[in-house]
Chain A
Amino acid sequence: MYSINEVLETIRMVQEENLDIRTITMGISLRDCADANAAKACQRIYDKITTQAANLVKAGEEIEREYGIPIINKRISVTPISLVAESSDANNYTPFAEAMDRAAKEVGVNFIGGFSALVHKGFTKGDRILINSIPEALATTERVCSSVNVGSTKDGINMDAVYRMGQVVKECAERTADKDGLACAKLVVFCNVPEDNPFMAGAFHGIGEAECVINVGVSGPGVVKNAVEKVKGTDFGTLAETVKKTAFKITRMGELVGRAAAKKLGVPFGIVDLSLAPTPAVGDSVAEVLEAMGLECCGTHGTTAALALLNDAVKKGGAMASSYVGGLSGAFIPLSEDAGMIRAAECGILTLEKLEAMTCVCSVGLDMIAIPGDTTAETLAAIIADEMAIGMVNFKTTAVRIIPAPGKTVGDRVEFGGLLGHAPIIPVKQAGAQEFVTRGGRIPAPIQSLKN
């Protein structure tokens, strides 16, 4: 039997502390959609997505009603388009993105990920065409997300790709200058990318995955913050234990919803991504969890240690709750999507350097950070290279989703609205790195890669 406290705890988590299932993402393989004729391939892609995901949104809404747990996003990830489009005659893959966009609108999902390429060791013809198509594809579509993996611990960092991505990010910003560079918010550069990540913009359906799977991303910074506040003044053991127990409960909810969705849709259940993903809503912030641990402001000295503790405890609690965990799993620190981070950046305590340090101990990387519009492609490439190096050397996933907001400078802010939020423009270093990032070639894999 249940104790009254357990029941009330669950209800409080959902109603007052913003516990939600952040996303149900259906991964769909498009490998069988390749065709020498690009138009035919696009049609196949559209048909396959709209068939497989026809009931995705409906199933999500049914589960929401049945269990009383809000499911914020229903999304789709597909096989990296560079692999599917490569055998076609196209020399611009924008039509593929348009087909994905149409399919996403048809089935009612808000984002579709997978306009992607994996180039950590080198480019193929398809990879090059895809990367060249990104600015146009992201500027002309609404829901398509793109990611490019440019490095891995096993292979090193493809610096030609890093430099090219610096230029691509810049171009994306310029093409959507009227929307504060919105296209950049839909583009992620990765090192050690996971193949089963349900979170956008970096989601794609990896080549080791099944035909169609359901992956779930849970979230609950509000719930964790509340739990942390209750153990104010206790030692670190108690603090970690509290976060662990809370993460366990949150993840169980994700597992339940994921399995229910997979059953309803008749496809296998993939993974639960046990992450703490914030939203711009007050009370749903990772920065506030860190502050509840005893920091005056997120970004001050001690933040990296606090984040390390949080990240590890979330993983430990989640690992016990589900046998199939994957994705990125940990705390996300997207600047514009977290009310506490925005506040900390606005008062100048949270800086780019501190964010970079924080990414050494958390899931993702430099995420949703707005910088001055006059930042050069070379500086962008250098920022990307730094972040990729952290991932490569530490055997972890890192990513960069950065927005050089056109025409804006430090002191201004960008506004994306909805889940993407808003952010102040934060300064970057003024000294260049052109000679370094334009050397070309690949940074060799670190000694850790020789694990056998």
Chain B
Amino acid sequence: MLENLVRKQTGNRIIVTVIGQDRVGIIAKVSNILATHQVNILDISQTIMQEFFAMVLIADMEKSDLDLETIKEKLSILGQELGVKIEAQHEDVFRYMHRI
């Protein structure tokens, strides 16, 4: 029961990261792809580390029409266009590594 509850909360959440040179429109374009495929953005934070732009976005893909792999591909192609590195990973990876 408890496991199901936890699963529900975190089951389909992904973490998208963008790292690279800052430029106009990164967030707009990333969120556009996510919105097109019904991926709901829950939280965004960004920072400039040294001269690099780093953005971390948490999203829920519960209702998405795509699987994680396809979303990753689409984001990766966008990343190449923008000259930044975009990664999407299942939230579990981060939850497991940093939270007990």
Contact = CB atoms under 8 A, between A and B. Distances in A.
A253 B96 contact: yes
A256 to B, nearest CB: 4
A2 B87 contact: no
A2 B90 contact: no
Interface string A1-24: 110101110110000000000000
Nearest to A19: B97
A243 interface: no
A46 B38 CA distance: 46
A256 B45 CA distance: 26
B93 A65 contact: no
Contact of B93 (A1, A8, A253): A253
Interface in A245-303: 249, 252-253, 255-256, 260
Contacts of A252: 96-97
B87 A68 contact: yes
B31 interface: no
A235 interface: no
B92 to A, nearest CB: 6
B17 interface: yes
Nearest to B42: A1
Contacts of B45: 4
State the majority secondary structure of interface residues on A.
helix
Nearest to B88: A68
Contacts of B17: 7-8, 11
Contact of B68 (A2, A11, A65, A69): A65
Interface string B38-60: 00000101110100001010100
B97 A4 contact: no
B84 interface: no
A253 B97 contact: yes
A249 B89 contact: no
A69 B98 contact: no
Contacts of A1: 43, 58
Nearest to A260: B92
B81 interface: no
A224 B88 CA distance: 24
B15 A2 contact: yes
B94 A7 contact: yes
A69 B89 CA distance: 9
Contacts of A8: 17, 19, 49, 54, 56
A68 B90 contact: yes
Contacts of B19: 8, 11
Listed from nearest, the 7 A-B pairs whose CB atoms lie closest are A256-B96, A68-B89, A7-B56, A6-B98, A252-B96, A249-B97, A252-B97
Interface of A: 1-2, 4, 6-8, 10-11, 65-69, 249, 252-253, 255-256, 260
Given A11-B17, A67-B93, 17 more contacts: A1-B43, A2-B15, A2-B94, A7-B94, A8-B17, A8-B56, A10-B94, A10-B98, A11-B87, A11-B89, A65-B68, A66-B69, A67-B89, A68-B87, A68-B90, A249-B98, A253-B93
